[in-house]
Structure 1
Amino acid sequence: MARWWTWLREDVWEIRFRRYVALALAAVLVGLGAWGGLTATKEDRSCAAGVVRPEGSDECVGVSSTTYAFGRAQFTETVRAINRENHRLAPGSYVTVALLEPFTATDPDNLDDVLHELQGAYLAQYQANHDTTGLKPKIRLVLANPGATGTHWRHTVDQLERMTKSPDRLRAVTGVGLSTDNNKEAVKELTRRGIPVIGSSITADDLANGQDGKDPFPGLARVSPTNTDEARALASFAKVSASNAFLVYDRTGDPYTRTLQQSFEKMLKGARYEAQPFTPPADRSKEGSTANVFAQITNILCNTPKSTDTLLFAGRHTQLRQFINALGARGCVDRRFTVLTGDEGSYLAGDEDLDPTALKDPRLSVRYAALAHPQAWLKDSAKTGGSEADAKVLQRLLDSAEREPAGPIGKVALDDGQLIIGYDAMRLAVRGIRGASPTGKIPALADVGLQWPQVKGAQLRVSGASGWICLDAHGNPYDKAVPIVELTPDSRTRFVRIAWPEGKPPAAECLPPS
């Protein structure tokens, strides 16, 4: 009996012990699970105030209103200058304008563009806030990043919309940058939500209103000519005709290359030879295998008669550089060729991968339609459409930005035209904001975009550093000055002359015709 009782006590103790171990183990596992869940839910994906890394991405996107420079050291000084200017503004005295650009771009050329447009936008902000006339409201500037390729545009657009209803009082978005499909979607959604957009360097025709009489982007204004206007200006300058020109184009296309191709095709109706396509990588900043294709295209060009001396190129700058290198190594070295292209040509200034022997060939010229150029109004004798005085206003601002209180803003470059065009776009934004509220009060969001059709005439136009900005009823600049620029043998730029979409400068009143 005693032995049985002993066994029973041992069994009971063992059962209790096992239960205790099981319960303890369960508690540990639950605790670990809870801790893991707590860790996951509390994972910090923020980069800075207003800027986060979306799920599945390491990019920091969103809207920054601090000194955060998106991890790009070249932006630091300009961002600090913007932050100082923003902090000078009294609460309730300002509205906000967002500069939408790919601040996390990895391509060095794109980053240079972003830096220069950032500097230009800031200089226009500083000018607006320190104007001796004391006009109001004051302007606060923030940085909006949709990602290196614009992939996260929806996240950033949602954030910008919330800012229109908050104390930020967002009233316009400027910049936008390249004419890409993602940027096109971002502009479409911003304007659908009633947010005015001022495009700085977008030139694609399908990123403009007024095509076929329709306005798919209500509230969009632009300071750069469309690709069609660039092509018309080039044709006027170079006397392009179907009998002497040959088209090379990007087969897959994006909004910029596609509409530039279409614009060139209109000029070449009845051309003797069919156009030659090439297929670049999806990321057009990459090399891919297109260099081989261009080597073959140059062989085809050598088989054309000598009268075919003008080559129209509808493609991005990486492929343009490859094409120029191939032309430099062409078999028919005795042939003269002039390459004409859109504003992507500006990227090639200083491009270390551009074959120096190609541009040193006196029988090969590369010219492009620039958005702006610092020498345009200093050397051109046009009496209307712009002036040296307007260009010098920006130069004085640049001089003041070398030191406090306006600066410093980092290394400045003007030859690519991006700083100039970024400055003019911000000035147009200010014109729309203040035009919507002549009394200086905070304007209603809906009223800002309604100002664009009235930006014309001697009193209401924007006398930009890139030329007069006189908008038509669809928000497009009328007969905007197009500087024709040539790449020099040392891979720099040389201003040639101003060309005009209408073949001549606008009249002094700068009123678009019916």
Structure 2
Amino acid sequence: MPDRFTARLRRHVRTPRQKFVATAVTASVVLGFGTYGFTRLTTPENRSCAEGVARPLDSAECIGVNGSGHDFGEADLKDVAESIRAENASLKAGEYVTVAVLLPLTSTDSGMRVKVLHEVQGAYAYQRRANQESNGQRPTIRLVLANTGQGNAHWRTVVDRLVAMADGPDRLRAVSGIATSSGEMREAVAALTHAKVAVVGTTITADDIANGPGRKPFPGLARVSPTNSDEARALANFGRVDAAKALLVQDTRSGDHYVDTLKAAFAQSLKQAPLEPQEFTSAPDSTQEGTTANTFVNITHLICDTRTETVFFAGRHTQLRQFINALGDRGCVDRAFTVLTGDEGSYLGADEKLDRKALKKKVTVRYAALAHPDAWQPAPGRQIPRTGGSPQAYADFLADIAKAAPKDRPVPLSDGQAIIAYDAMATAVHAIRQATPEGVAYPSKEDVGTQWPQVKGSLRVQGASGWICLDNYGNPYNKAVPIVELAQDGSPRFVQTAWPEGRPPTSTCLPPKKG
């Protein structure tokens, strides 16, 4: 009988036949049950969302360009994305060019999400008019949505794709949208225009995302919204503000082109103001609450120590809302204050965090809107300017936006976003068709952006927001600026139209020579 040590050794030492059987069993286990894991390790993850759209490695957002009905995971965009798909599918090959709407479609900021939806709806409304109700003019227009992601973080990926589409069979001939005056959008506009792709900005108002005398950093850029300087001039002309009783409250965070140029424009209007500006510093992402609410409590105390009656606010909408809320809780409740600001005020009406009670405590909030549904609609006691816009152009827009939206879900118009996006598409289509030579199906990409200096006089665009008469640098001349006031329930109430030049343009709408 072998001793116990020998028996134990036999249990651990395998014969060649035993080794073969053990290897075969192990292999069968791996092949039978481990194939899925092995495949996952060796096969690249499919990060595609739709045609032309994918999730970057560092993001869960669907980034890219699509015109075949993809909603980028945003339920609110589903209906309009499907309408765009259907319109695009109806176009004949070889007869269309493409226009992209470049926006942060997957933004998590509630105000931006509303803005984005309304801009896409406005753009689609004009695409439909251009294709179906323009007396057969050509080329027809294919519309695509281009998502730069939260904070426009993925603008480079999308811009590279758009540039490639301009040189390929998509025949991209213009990019609209460009909804924020941010550093990312400034770089995106520079990259597109230097690739000779025409750009029509909707709501960019920063003075330094523009061309001007002696400088053309963005060749081929046009805008349908007034600059911050023009907004400030229009506010000043409207308000007849006493600078001795005015104060500037401004954000010190640099790099935000909207804020930087707005505070410079306000400072220019307040040269005679006796006091230095009151300052705050917003979070790196201005849509975040940060700690500025605490700062505004202190600022309102200081305002009560002054003779101030009018406050010019240079900041984004989150901080504007915090400031108004703080002003509602000020100590000097017996005194009345008027807050004047730029077009970021248009977000306030839909901001659920706005304390509406503050508006009942002698706090008046007025802002320079980019568009408003009452500006060109006749009403009892309201005088419509004879130049600078027309009720008929606005009536055409109303008909188009009604046809473009589901009957049970009309597009809200009070924030002006659908109106201004409609006008931007109208301007893009105008330039595309003006640049198309007779007998040719579509223009070269280089020729579209050269049309802007001719968009004036009798060749102006009859915008729903007012006449779009561009100067030689692609900027709107003396564009109508609706002054809007927040009613006590937070709803926007049209006050009157103001003008950067102090009065409406002449009937010719020809910009004067600039020095």
TM-score, normalised via structure 1 length: 0.92
Over 3 Å counting, the alpha-carbon distance change for 1:409 and 1:132 in structure 2 is farther
Over 3 Å counting, the alpha-carbon distance change for 1:281 and 1:17 in structure 2 is same
Instruction: State how 1:412-431 maps to structure 2 within 5 Å.
Output: 412-431=411-430
**Residue in 2 that maps onto 1:279:** 281
**Residue in 2 that maps onto 1:235:** 236
CA contact (8 A) 2:64 2:147 kept: yes
CA contact (8 A) 1:222 1:476 kept: yes
Separation (CA, whole Å) in 1 of partners of 2:54 and 2:349: 35
Aligned residues: 496
AA in 2 matched with 1:85? E
**Residue in 1 that maps onto 2:333:** 333
Separation (CA, whole Å) in 2 of partners of 1:466 and 1:365: 24
Superposed displacement of residue 205, structure 1: 0.8
Superposed displacement of residue 184, structure 1: 1.3
In the TM superposition, what whole-angstrom CA distance separates every residue of 1:294-351 from its partner, at most 9, and x where no partner exists?
010011111112xx21100001111111101111111111212110000010111142
Superposed displacement of residue 175, structure 1: 0.5
Instruction: State how 1:395-474 maps to structure 2 within 5 Å.
Output: 395-402=398-405, 410-439=409-438, 441-457=441-457, 459-474=458-473
**Residue in 1 that maps onto 2:5:** none
In the TM superposition, what whole-angstrom CA distance separates every residue of 1:431-469 from its partner, at most 9, and x where no partner exists?
110011142521100000000111000x21001000000
CA contact (8 A) 2:122 2:419 kept: yes
Over 3 Å counting, the alpha-carbon distance change for 1:262 and 1:409 in structure 2 is farther
AA in 2 matched with 1:227? N
Superposed displacement of residue 25, structure 1: 6.9
Separation (CA, whole Å) in 1 of partners of 2:208 and 2:64: 26
**Residue in 2 that maps onto 1:6:** none
**Residue in 2 that maps onto 1:102:** 104
Helix, strand or coil at the partner of 1:206: coil
Helix, strand or coil at the partner of 1:426: helix
Superposed displacement of residue 166, structure 1: 2.0
Helix, strand or coil at the partner of 1:491: coil
Separation (CA, whole Å) in 2 of partners of 1:261 and 1:409: 42
Separation (CA, whole Å) in 2 of partners of 1:280 and 1:23: 66
**Residue in 2 that maps onto 1:488:** 487
Separation (CA, whole Å) in 1 of partners of 2:194 and 2:408: 34
**Residue in 1 that maps onto 2:227:** 226
Superposed displacement of residue 408, structure 1: 5.8
**Residue in 1 that maps onto 2:376:** 377
Separation (CA, whole Å) in 2 of partners of 1:182 and 1:132: 35
Superposed displacement of residue 26, structure 1: 9.4
AA in 2 matched with 1:352? E
Separation (CA, whole Å) in 1 of partners of 2:407 and 2:70: 17
Superposed displacement of residue 214, structure 1: 0.7
Helix, strand or coil at the partner of 1:332: coil
Helix, strand or coil at the partner of 2:244: coil
**Residue in 2 that maps onto 1:303:** 305
TM-score, normalised via structure 2 length: 0.91
Bigger Cα displacement from structure 2, 195-204 vs 175-184: 175-184
**Residue in 2 that maps onto 1:247:** 248
Unaligned runs of 5+ in 1: 1-10
Superposed displacement of residue 165, structure 1: 2.1
Q: Segments of 4+ in structure 1 off by > 3 A?
A: 11-41, 407-411
Give identity over the alignment, percent. Answer: 54
**Residue in 1 that maps onto 2:49:** 47
**Residue in 2 that maps onto 1:3:** none
Helix, strand or coil at the partner of 1:172: strand
CA contact (8 A) 2:68 2:88 kept: no
**Residue in 1 that maps onto 2:496:** 497
Separation (CA, whole Å) in 2 of partners of 1:408 and 1:357: 34
Bigger Cα displacement from structure 2, 436-445 vs 131-140: 436-445
Superposed displacement of residue 498, structure 1: 0.4
Superposed displacement of residue 510, structure 1: 0.4
Superposed displacement of residue 140, structure 1: 0.3
The structure 2 residue matched to 1:391, chosen from 368, 390, 394, is 394
**Residue in 1 that maps onto 2:215:** 214
AA in 2 matched with 1:237? F
AA in 2 matched with 1:220? L
AA in 2 matched with 1:224? S
Helix, strand or coil at the partner of 1:376: coil
CA contact (8 A) 2:402 2:410 kept: no
Separation (CA, whole Å) in 2 of partners of 1:40 and 1:369: 57
Separation (CA, whole Å) in 2 of partners of 1:266 and 1:41: 60
Separation (CA, whole Å) in 2 of partners of 1:159 and 1:13: 62
